[in-house]
Amino acid sequence: MKIGYMRVSTFDQNLDLQEDALNKEGCDKIFSDKISGAKSKTEREGLRNALDFMREGDVLVIYKLDRLGRTLKNLIEMVNDLSKKKMGLKSLSESIDTTTANGKLIFHVFGAISEFERDIIRERTRAGLGAARARGKFGGRPRKITDEKIKMAKRLHADKSIDIKDIIKNLQVSRSAFYRMLQM
């Protein structure tokens, strides 16, 4: 059985193009969502219903891969989940059908490329951080509380005639930041 799934990101978009393609493909039942692709499959009620409806041997038919998942990792996870349940995926625009040997091969190649890409990004990030540290630069948010501000906070706090509210206002810090400064 062919189960169709279509999705648009906003309510002002319409599903007509996808619906026409899925009907032309001969889908027996079609589910839809009007929600961002960034939402997980558990948040997309139409997708969840389509997956619950499907049985062994069924094929989930989509108009385009990006209608199913936002990242290659999401798509590969989805295909693996379907495969474990002995179900397939067919994307009409990309002509990918995981019920065929060629379709499975394409998805395995996508998975290998995705993993390679993640490893390359991780290596470049580590190398960049190491080079920055070697030059004395450290990542993260810049410190707002300087050593000079800490000394001033301690001096002002030592003068019991000055109200804490005035010190905080003068230093432009929160009450909790002020008390942290006193412990530094």
Catalytic residues: 9
| Dist CA 92 CA 64 (whole Å) | 6
Edge-to-edge order in the sheet of strand 96-97: 29-34, 2-8, 59-62, 88-91, 96-97
Give the H/E segment covering residue 7.
strand 2-8
- Could you tell me the two tokens for 166? 């005035």
| Dist CA 106 CA 21 (whole Å) | 22
Enumerate residues 6+ apart whose C-beta is below 8 A from 47. Answer: 5, 7, 31, 33, 41, 68
